[in-house]
Structure 1
Amino acid sequence: MQKIIFTLILFILSQLVISQNYKVGKISKSELTEKVYPLDSSANAAFLYSKRNTYFKYVQNEGFKVITEIQERIKIYNHEGYKWATKEISYYNPSMNAERVTISNAKTYSLKDGKIESYKLKKNDIFDVKENKYWSTKKFTMPNITDGCVVEWTYRITSPYTSIDAVQLQYEIPVKKISCKIEIPEYYVYSIKETGYLPINIQKLQKNKTIVIKDKTRSGGKVVKTYYSTNNINYISNTTVIENTNVPALLKEPYVNNIDNYKSAIHYELATTKWPNKPLKNYTKSWEDVAKTISKNSEFGGELKKTSYFKEDLDKLRAKFPNKNELMLAIFEFVKHKVKWNNTYGKYSYNGVRTAYKKGEGSVADINLILVAIFREAGIHANPIILSTRSHGIPIFPTLKGFNYVIAGVEVENNVLLFDATEENSIPNILPIRDLNWKGRIIRDNGSSTWVNLITQPAKLNTTVQVKINENGEVEGLERAQYMNYEAYYFRNTYGKVKDEDIISKMEEENSNIEISDFKIINKNNLYKPATIMYKFDSDELLDVVDDKIYFKPLLFMAETKNPFKLETRDYPIDFGMPNNNKKVVSITIPKGYAVESIPESFAIGLPNNLGVYKFSVTATGNKISVISLFKINTPIIPTAYYPQIKEFYKQMIAKNLEQIVLKKV
């Protein structure tokens, strides 16, 4: 019966889609009165219509330009959907040959006393923000946003470049109808790849088109005459048409690095050009070609050759640290403190390494290219490693645009030590989390390049707790937690500059409102040793006393109680960032006059292919109870195919954590 109803809803929606007027400004009352999205009542907003048209336009004396025209109509159901009334359009904006963005027909529509009212976006509410010397963003927020309103806008991007932005077909909100048309002259051949899991309805067409070229010539002699002529060039335009309806939202769950990596989309990369009467030109690159091109750029390889600006400082470091390993760490720490990161990404030096060094501030590339250069001058075998950050996504093609970041690598004994000097809490092989995406490519000074793993260390946390319980159900205890590798990095990023009293307040709140005393942190800022916290605690809320029995969870306030995986199915991998190793040991002394009536059975569960394991054991001897919990994830990324298993893995782990120890008065 439910299947019949769902099919009927789909049929009704398809008929509404067919009859809907999608012309700009033709908003209907039915769109404005719709209270929830019919196929997903949890949606806060939805695309009623998304249209894209990308085509090549020939301009006399300039050649082809790529025009992309976008129309978007979005229904906002409630306050949580208001963010979809804000639009950001990124475009390439160097000092010469910049792209142009024009915004038009931007209005908000709502019902007032049964009539459709519209509110136009004013020009002075469109902001043009220069992000860096290459990129800018047009930003605007639509006026008069209310629950149930519809916003619509169109914009055009005119580009002198032949790159075609990916065609996005799925969003974090559902789409009623999406329509795309990509027209490409036969002179350009693109490699095309589809990503995501959505079935895409694609139709391939060919059209005959004509370029009209006007020529002007002048005759010589005593009387100069001007002659005009036209020349028609016929060519074939290869057209891709995409029409999809009722596209579901790609819902985001925990443990995903960048949801955009998994949205259904079509990606274009220029492969060849073939002009009449000219030889074929191949643009297809290998990753080796990309690395060589980057290395030869003056703002990359050229900056590594500059050394005079730091020699005096390097001489001082050499005199103080004659041991090469100690010198390597000293140089790393020196650069971290000498040049602060200005939050600018990029693989090329922004204003030059000399300027950054002198100013004490620079981009990612400025800082880490300085680090490589000083390493090399000190006799340390260092090379830059280019990568794509988590927010930038996973490169689809071998392309220069695939990389947006650079770190330093030092090759020692068939191993590569990884360095990123942009963050003060980073140490060798413990990179900022933004770096941990796919792999990096090391570019050696001899011209060779190869892939390197960016994740080499697990997040490791060992916790021991000693607890005493009295007959009134009150708990006193002592905790010692040791944070290592990425756990230490997280800890220092969270608490490194926070006062102890504020740390105590946060930990009390996060741990069932225990009361903490005698709090102490060891190696809070010593990056090369584990960070350790120790404290005493007491609580009267961790146990339940009912008649002559006491009930409590074996792991007390450290128990896992919520499953982060709630979707029925998941179309993207589970990304933990790095392997995890979390061990908890709890020793409990029960009060006099009580005996252990029951304890949870020991338990172990493993994921397929040694992806992870959870072990849990409770043993009781006399007035002592020992609890050991071991959680291990052995790989940073678990493939989508294992989602049912990891969901069940967490379900069983949490169920075991929620089981009770029961003490009975004797």
Structure 2
Amino acid sequence: MRKLSLLTLLTFLFTNLLIAQIQFNSENIIVTKSDLEKNTFEQDTTANAVILYEFGNAYIDKRTFELVFEYKKKVKILNREGFKHSNISLRLYNSDRNKEKINNIKGSTTNLVNGQIKRTNLEPSQIFEDKIDENNTYIKFTLPDIKEGSVITYTYELRTPFIYKYQPWYFQEDLPKLYSEYITSIPGNYDYHIKLVGDLELKTHDMTLDKYCIKVSNGGSAHCTVAKYVMTNIPAFREESYMRAASNYISRIEYELKTINRFDGVVENITKSWETADKELKTNQNFGKQLKKESLVKKLIPEEEILKQNSTLDKAKLIYDFVKNNYTWNNKHRIFKDISIKDVIDDKSGNTAEINLLLYNLLKSNDLKVNPVLLSTRDHGLVTKLFPVISEFNYLILKLEIEDKSYFLDATDKDLVFGQIPFKCLNDYGREIDFDNGSKWIDLEPQTKSSIIQKSVITINDDYTFNATINITSLGFKALDIKKEFNKNNQKFIDYYTQAFPDFTFDNIDVLIDEDTLKVNEIITFSGPVNTIGNKVFFDPFIFKNFTENPLKLQERSYPVDFGYKDMYTNRIKIFFSDNFVVNDISKENTKQLPQSSALSIFKSKKESGIVEFYFKANFYEKSYHHFYYKELKSFFDNLVDLQSNSILVLEKKG
């Protein structure tokens, strides 16, 4: 017995020793036999490749004052889907006088062939240059001899004269990483704002001082701050439903040059203040100058039409509807280039800024208090609040104030109503430009509620058929989505129901759109057969479902679940039947709640003689949920899908 236990113990220890030995080398770029032998990645079984090691080193050249960036990378290819990661593309930027260069590109592919390590090097003839336009060129190469289980490595040196953004470092990519290290050496006369983006934490953040790293001929010198940043076991960044721009969340380090203290004593301020930016915007031909075109718009709307309005709000609505209905957006977001109010008036078409600045001038000429608001759309990324970066804005709306109430206006979309902005603009905040009082940040919150309310009245007949009338009321952005689909092709919208439910006979489908509010009513009357087994009726109370599958599918998520607005779904269902039926079975009540009461779902049922009632409600009280709650929210959606897919009423026919 003792011998058997000892043998078992030795076997166990030996097996675990072997497992422990077969680990990826994430300490350097050297390809080891373990890297080649191990062909699985347990931490993320969906990954088709994994970055084993990554290293970057950035510093200012003492002689040329160019930024030098040295890069090394080692990647394990796990399967055929991972072959695409052997295709490397490196972007170079050049302006009229300056350009970036890449030197010393080296690469290799290492395979395990019959137990022997075989290395195939990248040849210079396999490196290509692809000029995209006058400013952008890509250096491209594909690592050779790729197989399942290959390990690829490559290194290069980038030299750039463009030091305003220094060299950003992306810890996170679409592949998981075991180790990522970045070292920077920044001279003290360069003052950068350094920003760590994303929720992942650094394992190492060390700072040291390299004295007299830069010396110039006139005796000037500077010390360098040397920083070392390390992250390990970094999850892949994968996009999923309910997210804004990936650039908001991918873990990385970014730089923005604030000032340069030149060796001759001159201080050059690179980053401007908003006070300075406002002055520049005020004199800008494509912005500030276009805010003073009231003389061009005076006669666009007859004065008698304006005077007929009963209130200031009615006057504003008239002007808004005039612009929205008579001028067409050309689908361009351009806001600081080729802006002309005269052109949009003549052409009846224009970009975002032209349409909304035309509206601005019309409102201003009629003595209304209005300011332009610069923002970045959801897919464009968040704008930094620390200092003005005008290039980060890509959209323009208006803020109108009437009797201490604010209205956001956008006349580019004919389906919008007064006081509503597109969903794409719900990106937390924008910059209100007020040249008299100074610009300021303002929140961009939805000004209307969004919800879907279903009321169903259903009768189950003795002949095993049913008749139903379902009234669906949509509000806010839910209504806008339906309005867009219906206005695009109303017959196609109606045909959806007949095609999705071929067993039903639709007697009437009415879609009522309130053009002045965000409200859409669908009234649908139809009939059809019920499912039966013997003398039992099996009836699904959720005929038109809000939740058919869980939109959250990742194992884990490192960024928020962002709906953009608070949301609510309600179903009230009444099912009538004759005395010839009795209730055999009915789904049980179900209530779920997220932590801190941030979301709630309720399912209830009630039965009386000849009638059964169901009540369902899903209320998302927050517009965005931290990734800490991802698993709970994913489970919450699972429950919603289960409720609407598996709820049942079973009736049994007497006799």
Q: Does 253-262 or 403-412 show the bigger shift?
A: 253-262
Partner SS for 2:573: strand
Contact residue 287 and residue 339 of structure 2 kept, 8 A: no
**In structure 1, how many angstroms separate the alpha carbons of the residues matched to 2:297 and 2:94?**
33
Aligned equivalent of 2:5: none
Partner SS for 2:173: coil
Q: Report the identity percentage.
A: 22
Aligned equivalent of 1:403: 393
Report the CA distance shift for 1:411/1:92 in structure 2 as closer, same or farther (over 3 A): farther
Aligned equivalent of 1:385: 373
The C-alpha deviation readout for 1:454-473, integer Å capped at 9, x for no partner, is 22222222222232334565
User: Counterparts of 1:341-360 in structure 2 under 5 Å?
Assistant: 341-345=329-333, 347-360=335-348
In the alignment, which of 196, 203, 208 is matched to residue 205 of structure 1? 208
Contact residue 205 and residue 230 of structure 2 kept, 8 A: yes
Report the CA distance shift for 1:183/1:381 in structure 2 as closer, same or farther (over 3 A): same
**In structure 2, how many angstroms separate the alpha carbons of the residues matched to 1:290 and 1:164?**
23
Contact residue 23 and residue 38 of structure 2 kept, 8 A: no
Report the CA distance shift for 1:14/1:589 in structure 2 as closer, same or farther (over 3 A): same
Partner SS for 2:564: coil
Q: Does 637-646 or 286-295 show the bigger shift?
A: 286-295
In the alignment, which of 620, 624, 643 is matched to residue 633 of structure 1? 620
In the alignment, which of 20, 40, 45 is matched to residue 44 of structure 2? 40
TM-score of the two chains, using structure 2 as the length reference: 0.80
User: Counterparts of 1:53-64 in structure 2 under 5 Å?
Assistant: 53-57=57-61, 64=65
In the alignment, which of 157, 182, 185 is matched to residue 183 of structure 1? 185
Contact residue 292 and residue 447 of structure 1 kept, 8 A: no
Question: How far is 1:505 from its partner?
Answer: 4.7
Report the CA distance shift for 1:331/1:140 in structure 2 as closer, same or farther (over 3 A): farther
Q: Does 1:624 align with 2:611?
A: yes
User: Counterparts of 1:156-305 in structure 2 under 5 Å?
Assistant: 156=158, 158-164=160-166, 166-200=168-202, 201-208=204-211, 231=218, 233-276=220-263, 278=265, 294-295=281-282, 297-305=284-292
In the alignment, which of 52, 56, 66 is matched to residue 52 of structure 1? 56
Report the CA distance shift for 1:374/1:327 in structure 2 as closer, same or farther (over 3 A): same
**In structure 1, how many angstroms separate the alpha carbons of the residues matched to 2:101 and 2:330?**
27
Q: Which amino acid aligns with 1:55?
A: Y
The C-alpha deviation readout for 1:237-281, integer Å capped at 9, x for no partner, is 222223444322234443222343223222323344434463766
Aligned equivalent of 2:4: none
Report the CA distance shift for 1:512/1:102 in structure 2 as closer, same or farther (over 3 A): farther
Report the CA distance shift for 1:300/1:242 in structure 2 as closer, same or farther (over 3 A): same
Aligned equivalent of 1:491: 482
Question: How far is 1:436 from its partner?
Answer: 0.8
Report the CA distance shift for 1:497/1:279 in structure 2 as closer, same or farther (over 3 A): same
Aligned equivalent of 1:434: 424
Q: Which amino acid aligns with 1:204?
A: M
**In structure 2, how many angstroms separate the alpha carbons of the residues matched to 1:345 and 1:5?**
64
Partner SS for 2:290: helix
Contact residue 338 and residue 357 of structure 1 kept, 8 A: no
Aligned equivalent of 1:463: 454
- For structure 2, the residue ranges without an aligned partner over 5 or more in a row are 1-8
**In structure 2, how many angstroms separate the alpha carbons of the residues matched to 1:593 and 1:508?**
31
In the alignment, which of 442, 447, 453 is matched to residue 437 of structure 2? 447
Contact residue 450 and residue 568 of structure 2 kept, 8 A: yes
Contact residue 459 and residue 580 of structure 1 kept, 8 A: yes
Contact residue 26 and residue 53 of structure 2 kept, 8 A: no
Question: How far is 1:168 from its partner?
Answer: 1.7
The C-alpha deviation readout for 1:51-90, integer Å capped at 9, x for no partner, is 4343334676xxx444555555655555765775777777
Contact residue 111 and residue 147 of structure 2 kept, 8 A: no
Report the CA distance shift for 1:206/1:9 in structure 2 as closer, same or farther (over 3 A): farther
**In structure 2, how many angstroms separate the alpha carbons of the residues matched to 1:493 and 1:313?**
28
Report the CA distance shift for 1:40/1:9 in structure 2 as closer, same or farther (over 3 A): farther
Contact residue 511 and residue 522 of structure 2 kept, 8 A: yes
Partner SS for 1:490: helix
**In structure 2, how many angstroms separate the alpha carbons of the residues matched to 1:17 and 1:385?**
48
Q: Which amino acid aligns with 1:188?
A: Y
Question: How far is 1:518 from its partner?
Answer: 4.2
Partner SS for 1:18: coil
- Supply the RMSD in Å over aligned alpha carbons: 4.4
**In structure 1, how many angstroms separate the alpha carbons of the residues matched to 2:457 and 2:145?**
55
**In structure 1, how many angstroms separate the alpha carbons of the residues matched to 2:101 and 2:142?**
17
Partner SS for 1:615: strand
The C-alpha deviation readout for 1:323-359, integer Å capped at 9, x for no partner, is 5434433433443455544444355244444445544
In the alignment, which of 365, 368, 371 is matched to residue 356 of structure 2? 368
**In structure 2, how many angstroms separate the alpha carbons of the residues matched to 1:316 and 1:258?**
44
Contact residue 129 and residue 138 of structure 1 kept, 8 A: no
How many residue pairs get aligned? The number is 630
**In structure 2, how many angstroms separate the alpha carbons of the residues matched to 1:248 and 1:19?**
19
Question: How far is 1:188 from its partner?
Answer: 1.2
In the alignment, which of 407, 415, 426 is matched to residue 417 of structure 1? 407
Q: Does 108-117 or 306-315 show the bigger shift?
A: 108-117
Contact residue 208 and residue 234 of structure 1 kept, 8 A: no
**In structure 2, how many angstroms separate the alpha carbons of the residues matched to 1:514 and 1:320?**
56
Question: How far is 1:487 from its partner?
Answer: 0.9
Aligned equivalent of 1:532: 521
**In structure 2, how many angstroms separate the alpha carbons of the residues matched to 1:437 and 1:321?**
37
**In structure 2, how many angstroms separate the alpha carbons of the residues matched to 1:85 and 1:428?**
52
Contact residue 389 and residue 437 of structure 1 kept, 8 A: yes
Report the CA distance shift for 1:32/1:242 in structure 2 as closer, same or farther (over 3 A): same
Report the CA distance shift for 1:72/1:369 in structure 2 as closer, same or farther (over 3 A): farther
Q: Which amino acid aligns with 1:490?
A: D
**In structure 2, how many angstroms separate the alpha carbons of the residues matched to 1:139 and 1:43?**
26
Question: How far is 1:384 from its partner?
Answer: 0.8
Aligned equivalent of 1:479: 470
**In structure 1, how many angstroms separate the alpha carbons of the residues matched to 2:68 and 2:308?**
58
Report the CA distance shift for 1:396/1:11 in structure 2 as closer, same or farther (over 3 A): farther
User: Counterparts of 1:5-16 in structure 2 under 5 Å?
Assistant: 16=25
Contact residue 211 and residue 222 of structure 2 kept, 8 A: yes
Report the CA distance shift for 1:334/1:102 in structure 2 as closer, same or farther (over 3 A): farther
Question: How far is 1:614 from its partner?
Answer: 2.4
Q: Does 521-530 or 611-620 show the bigger shift?
A: 521-530
TM-score of the two chains, using structure 1 as the length reference: 0.79
**In structure 2, how many angstroms separate the alpha carbons of the residues matched to 1:663 and 1:184?**
77
Q: Which amino acid aligns with 1:483?
A: S
Q: Which amino acid aligns with 1:661?
A: L
Report the CA distance shift for 1:289/1:554 in structure 2 as closer, same or farther (over 3 A): farther
Report the CA distance shift for 1:286/1:400 in structure 2 as closer, same or farther (over 3 A): closer
Question: How far is 1:187 from its partner?
Answer: 0.3
In the alignment, which of 575, 585, 588 is matched to residue 598 of structure 1? 585
**In structure 1, how many angstroms separate the alpha carbons of the residues matched to 2:87 and 2:421?**
33
**In structure 2, how many angstroms separate the alpha carbons of the residues matched to 1:608 and 1:652?**
15
Aligned equivalent of 1:662: 650
The C-alpha deviation readout for 1:126-159, integer Å capped at 9, x for no partner, is 35258xxxx8685979699987475968584724
Report the CA distance shift for 1:612/1:40 in structure 2 as closer, same or farther (over 3 A): closer
**In structure 1, how many angstroms separate the alpha carbons of the residues matched to 2:176 and 2:648?**
43
- For structure 1, the residue ranges without an aligned partner over 5 or more in a row are 23-27, 214-229
